[in-house]
Amino acid sequence: MKKITVTILSVLYMTIACGVMVNVHYCMGSLSSVEYGHGEEETCGKCGMKEKKGCCETEYKFVKLDGDHQLAKISIDFFQAPALLPSLLTDFSATPGLLSYLSLQYHSPPDPRVNEVYLHNCVFRI
């Protein structure tokens, strides 16, 4: 199905790109026929009279695609964002009051060497 669709579209495109001659025939002021190609006929197909007498008129139109067939120009801007480097901290000053306050908040267990052995082993004999 895809091959048939592609074939039909390619034939249609090639026909329009190359151009087609269309003959539009008017007989007595009304549209009589439309033909493709360049056909020279002396007599009218509808009334049978010669076109030179003035009742029939044939217009020749050349239908062609007028667009330019050029390759599309691809323009890709490779914009590189500047690298954002972390700023280094140069202010390492700490207030002395803050350090003493932080050291008081630390509640570690007592040093095991200071306690006696029975307290360390949790052996309570009465």
Considering the domain boundaries, does residue 40 fall inside one? yes
Token pair in block for residue 24: 């539009």
Number of domains in the chain: 1
Structural domain containing residue 14? 2-63
Q: Distance between CA 35 and CA 21 in Å, rounded?
A: 8
Torsion of CA 89, 94, 100, 102, to 10 degrees: -30
Handedness of CA 39, 43, 45, 51 (dihedral sign): positive
Q: Are 39 and 60 in contact (CB under 8 A)?
A: no
pTM of the model: 0.41
Considering the domain boundaries, does residue 41 fall inside one? yes
Considering the domain boundaries, does residue 112 fall inside one? no
Considering the domain boundaries, does residue 31 fall inside one? yes
Q: How far is CA 114 from the centre of its chain?
A: 76
pLDDT digits (tens, 9 = 90+) for 71-102: 677 777 777 777 777 776 666 555 555 555 55
pLDDT digits (tens, 9 = 90+) for 19-54: 888 888 888 778 888 888 766 666 676 676 766 667
